[in-house]
Amino acid sequence: MPKIRKVVTTVWYNKKNMYDLRRVFPEAEFVYVNFYDKEKLAEEVKDADVAIIMGDVDPCLLGENTLKWIQCDHAGLNGSARPEVFERGIPVTGAAGRSAPVLAEHAIYFMFQGVYHTRELLKAQDNCQWGVEGQDRWRGLYGRTAGIVGMGNNGRQIAERLHAMGMRIIGYNLDPIEGLDYLDKKLVIKNGDTLDPLLEESDFIILSIALNDSTFHMFNKETFKKVKKGAFLVNMARGGVVCTEDLIEALNDGTLSGAGLDVFEEQPLSPESPLWKMPNVYITPHTTPQVPDRQAATIAIIRENARRFEAGESLLNLMKPSDMISGEKAEGGWARMMNSGLSKEQIEKMPLEKYLGKRGWTDPSEWM
């Protein structure tokens, strides 16, 4: 069985979580490198087994080294799913699922915004006005149909909560949907099922599917023609899953009653975008409230993968060829900072805790 003898990490964790991460590998040499010091990172991984990194797989990790597993400290792996990474043959895993409970809450927050007409009610409150026109026609979530596109970690958490609220649920996924026997329909791409039944029957369409070449602009003019009149769209996936131009048209012509959007093709969303001013659109800036300790949730994933690695078992959240996306469609979360062209000296002078959160330590000896 493979043995982990050396681990190199660049993650930006607080002191307690760095301490806990280090102890996932009690018998291994454990080396910390600043994420922007690529020269040192390339040197340290020459004889390492595992790299646990911020951001996407950097080219400096693809040189001559002994790496057998790379863990990325974020969920989406589009930015790492590049031909040269697959050719190098190092398994790459992510942190998908660590924020799934609150992402599910976030989706339901958008749904409540739609059914409770929050914007109208707040305006009425500001005006000391009792009630608003049309409130007698509003309907809640109970007894209505939710279609969840993508039944991974996030989709399953959403389904669990909507089921408890008495909704009818249709799930759509690439692979067979295990468990979740309360789903009214399970639509599976590999079984030849299409998205059409979900579009035609759903009062709410919630997107939690990965972005790749097959899902880019999955929701477009032709898709919107098939949706149930007045459906409400929630996008908790990636901006590129939806064609923005076609979405705006569907919102304007009444095809959709509204939308809750946390992600966009262009981020930050331009002040010129008409989405900002649309009365039936609710926007959050690709920001979901934190789980009690997201870093700890990630460490739990790493701990299980370390066990699987040494046991020769398949790793969780393993990057697949289907994660590849061509051109400029990929949203590589940390890419702008990590590939900004700034020198190591320039980055060292930046107030990193302002951007990355409070770390509370300066030297690895404080937690090692």
Domain boundaries, the chain: 6-97+292-366, 100-283
Q: Which of 67, 69, 85 is nearest to 325 (CA)?
A: 85
The listed CATH number (3.40.50.720, 3.40.50.460, 3.30.450.20, 3.90.1150.10) that belongs to domain 100-283: 3.40.50.720
Mean pLDDT, residues 299-324 taken together: 95
State pLDDT tens for residues 224-283.
999 999 999 999 999 999 999 999 999 999 999 999 999 999 999 999 999 999 999 999
Q: Which of 305, 325, 131, 345 is nearest to 237 (CA)?
A: 325
**Spatial distance between the Cα atoms of 191 and 143, rounded to a whole number of angstroms:** 28
**Spatial distance between the Cα atoms of 93 and 173, rounded to a whole number of angstroms:** 20
User: Higher-confidence residue: 343 or 121?
Assistant: 121
| Contact status, residue 260 vs residue 107, Cβ threshold 8 Å | yes
| Contact status, residue 44 vs residue 37, Cβ threshold 8 Å | no
User: Higher-confidence residue: 2 or 104?
Assistant: 104
Topology match between the domains 6-97+292-366 and 100-283 = yes
Q: Which of 152, 153, 172 is nearest to 100 (CA)?
A: 153
State pLDDT tens for residues 52-68.
999 899 999 999 999 99
pLDDT level of residue 329 (50, 70, 90 thresholds):
low
Token pair listed for 84? 């040269």
pLDDT of residue 332: 46
Q: Which of 67, 73, 74, 29 is nearest to 51 (CA)?
A: 67
| Contact status, residue 306 vs residue 4, Cβ threshold 8 Å | yes
**Spatial distance between the Cα atoms of 93 and 317, rounded to a whole number of angstroms:** 5
State pLDDT tens for residues 348-365.
888 888 878 889 999 999
**Spatial distance between the Cα atoms of 175 and 216, rounded to a whole number of angstroms:** 18
pTM comes to: 0.85
**Domain 6-97+292-366 sits in CATH 3.10.20.340:** no
Answer left, alpha or beta for residue 216, where phi above 0 means left and psi between -120 and 50 means alpha. beta
